[in-house]
Amino acid sequence: MTADDWPKSTRPRPMFSRNPAPPANNARRNGSVVAAFYDRQPMKKIIIVDDDASVLTAIQRGLNAHGFSTETFESAKAFRDSADLDQAACLITDLNLNGDSGFDLTAQVRAMGHAFPIILVTASPDEDLRHAARDAGCDAYITKPFSLDVLIAAIESASRTEP
């Protein structure tokens, strides 16, 4: 049995397709980053900053498999030195970045005037950190471990509230 023999709604999508099939659930087409992709509008990148290479790779592969364009950085310094923030649709950053902080990175991005959504990822479920993240300018706070669906929902939710 080939993929062409499967019913259209259950066909597997190629992992790194540039033009994946639209989602079966049209609820994802409501002005979000995902809708921009499926409507074939120019797609900006989701930037991922994490010092853990395995987490960085897992997030990148998962988002790429769902049709997102991504750019990764293994440190806050690499991000500051190389990121093209004019092409950013969203920033996903870890809280602890080998001597740097996701809070500091968020504050720097906001100080430059960028309003794209920022999602902070951390292993700590501490409510005080959650409030501090919101105060620092983060749009979402996700605790590890998390599913890809949780991350995509956070991206969609944050992109709907973008000014």
**pLDDT tens readout for residues 22-75:** 444 444 444 555 555 555 455 679 999 999 999 999 999 999 999 899 999 999
Q: Is 42 exposed, middle or buried (0-12, 13-18, 19+ CB in 10 A)?
A: exposed
pTM of the full structure:
0.72
H or E, element range at 91: strand 88-94
Asked if residue 145 has a cis previous peptide bond (ω within 30° of 0), the answer is yes
Token reading at 35: 């809708």
pLDDT at 159: 81
Q: What is the set of domains in the chain, with CATH numbers?
A: 29-34+43-160 (3.40.50.2300)
Task: Quote the pLDDT of residue 4.
Answer: 52
Between residues 80 and 33, which one has the greater pLDDT?
Answer: 80
Q: Tell me the residue length of the chain.
A: 163
